[in-house]
Amino acid sequence: MATIPLQLAQRRLDTGTVASYPNGSPVGAAVQGFGDELSAIAERFRQQKQQQDAFDADIIGRELNARIAHAEAVAVQTAPADGGGLHDFMYGQLDPRSDGVVKPGLFDQIFDDTAAKVPEGERANFLAQKQALRLAGSARMAAQQHARRQTYEQAEWSKVEDGYTSAIAQGDPNDTGTFEAIRRSGLELIGKMGNPLARQAAEAAWRSNTAKALAQAMIARDPKRAAEVLGTGPGAGRLADLTPDERQALVRQAHAAAVRVAEVPAGIQ
């Protein structure tokens, strides 16, 4: 069936420029019937066009979601180690008082480019989704940036902690001033970590690890004396943060080191 332009078919028959026929005549009935058929065709055409537009808009919406997901994945992969700028690059900045866009992000470019492809009859509904999509994506990117930042802080702290504990283990176990300065410096850095739970866990581990590093220095200096000190119980002072299991393990290590020292000939020592 040939396509009938919608605006033409909806007019039915324009009787102003054609001959009129008596009511009830065969010709008049035929003309009226033809006009009704044109109107029915026009309505079917309108419904079909509406259905096609809805289908096309849905496909375009799915393509939009895929483009956003791909852009987010690339943004996460290429973001700095600390995640800085990840959210704003993808979703820009909003005015918290009005939810208006202060600074557009890549999302705005992707959405606007895609919206231009949506059939005109479905465009208003499509545009109405933008804010909801932005808010959902903004939450995703904020979570990604937060997680990246936490990972970064933990990684950087681990480097500092390893350097500090190595310095304690290889240093003079009797140099209380240096030990306390190192421990205090570490606690200051931990205090600047953004996650309260991570701070709490890092501080507990830091106190334990510095105590273990000090015990290692004592064992290296005088394993027999270290075994005696570690075997007296928790007590107070720089070794107080060792757990019972850690203390027992260090005592065994000190005893083993003392045996090795005793087995070395005096001339070699």
User: Which of 32, 41, 33 is closest to 9 using CA atoms?
Assistant: 41
Rg of the chain taking only CA atoms, in angstroms: 39
pLDDT at residue 158 tops 80: yes
- Please state the rounded mean pLDDT for residues 172-179: 96
**Contact in structure between 9 and 39 (CB atoms under 8 Å):** yes
Q: Given pLDDT bands bounded at 50, 70 and 90, which one contains residue 22?
A: low
Give the global pTM: 0.74
Q: How far apart, in whole angstroms, are the C-alpha atoms of residue 34 and residue 18? A: 14
Per-residue model confidence (pLDDT) at position 128: 95
Which sequence spans correspond to the domains of the chain?
6-14+25-145, 170-263
**pLDDT band with cut points at 50, 70 and 90 for residue 39:** confident
β-bridge partners, 132: none
pLDDT of residue 267: 52
Instruction: Report pLDDT digits (tens) over 202-249.
Output: 999 999 999 999 999 999 999 999 999 998 877 668 999 999 999 999
What single DSSP character describes residue 106?
H
Specify the higher pLDDT residue, 268 or 117: 117
Q: Give the least confident one: 6-10, 110-114, 155-159.
A: 6-10
The dihedral of CA 89, 90, 95, 96: what is its sign? negative
Measured distance CA(194)–CA(147) in Å, rounded: 11
The answer to whether the CB of 242 falls within 8 A of the CB of 210 is no
What mean pLDDT value characterizes the chain? 86
Rounded CA separation 123/195 (Å): 43
What local confidence, expressed as pLDDT, does residue 31 receive? Answer: 52
Cα separation, 200 vs 25, whole angstroms: 96
Task: Supply the pLDDT for residue 29.
Answer: 55
Are the CB atoms for 171 and 217 separated by under 8 Å? yes
- Give me the pLDDT at residue 101, please: 77
Compute the average pLDDT of residues 153-174: 97
Which residues is 93 bridged to in the sheet? 103
Q: Is the dihedral of CA 59, 64, 67, 68 positive or negative?
A: negative
pLDDT tens profile 47-77 = 889 899 999 999 999 999 999 999 999 999 9
- 212: tokens are 């273990």
The better pLDDT of the pair 265, 107 is held by 107
Q: Is the pLDDT of residue 266 over 60?
A: no
